[in-house]
Amino acid sequence: MRRREWLARLALVLVIVGLPVSVLGYQYILRPALATVRIIDIHAAVPEAGGFSPDTIRVAVGETVTLRFAAVDVTHGVAIGPGLGVDLGHIDPGMVKEVTLAFDHSGTFTYYCTTWCSPNHWRMRGVIEVRDTANPGALPTPQRDPVIEALATEGVDIDANVHRGEEDPAGTSMPALATAPSAARGAATLPTLNVPPELQNPDWRRAHTPARALELLAAANAGVDAARLVDAIAALWMSAVSLSELETTGTVYDQNCAACHGQVGGGDGPAATFTAERPAAFSDPAYMFTMRSDVLYAKIRRGGMGTDMPNFGTLFTAEETWALVRYLWALTFAPEAVQ
Ligand code: HEC
Ligand SMILES: [Cu+2]
> pLDDT band for position 176 (50/70/90)?
confident
The type of residue at 213 is: A
Q: What is the pTM for the complete model shown? A: 0.84
Domain edges within the chain: 35-142, 143-339
**3-class SS of residue 327:** helix
> pLDDT band for position 234 (50/70/90)?
very high
Average pLDDT, stretch 49-71? Answer: 95
Average pLDDT, stretch 202-216? Answer: 95
Ligand 1 atom having least distance to the Cα of 158: 27
pLDDT in tens, 87-116: 999 999 999 999 999 999 888 999 999 998
Please give the Cα distance from 59 to 109 (Å, whole number): 11
Residue of 112, 261, 302 best suited for mutating to test ligand 1, as the one with most atoms within 8 Å of CB? 261
pLDDT in tens, 266-283: 999 999 998 999 999 999
What is the overall mean pLDDT for the chain? 88
Q: What is the DSSP string of 188-214?
A: HHGGGS---HHHH-HHHHHTS-HHHHH
Q: What is the DSSP string of 40-65?
A: EEEEE--GGGTSEESSEEEEETT-EE
> pLDDT band for position 8 (50/70/90)?
confident
Nearest CA to ligand 1 atom 12: 279
Count CA within 13 A, CB hemisphere, residue 166: 5
- 59 CB near ligand 1 (under 6 Å): no
- 300 CB near ligand 1 (under 6 Å): yes
The type of residue at 63 is: E
Gap from CA of 83 to ligand 2 centroid (Å): 21
- 148 CB near ligand 1 (under 6 Å): no
Q: Which CATH number fits domain 35-142: 2.60.40.420, 3.40.640.10, 2.40.50.100, 2.40.100.10?
A: 2.60.40.420
Would you state the CATH architecture of domain 143-339? Orthogonal Bundle (1.10)
Alpha helices in 78-209 (DSSP H): 146-154, 183-189, 197-200, 202-206
- 307 CB near ligand 1 (under 6 Å): yes
The phi and psi torsions of 44 (rounded to 5 degrees) equal -110, 120
- pLDDT at position 325: 98
Ligand 1 atom having least distance to the Cα of 296: 29
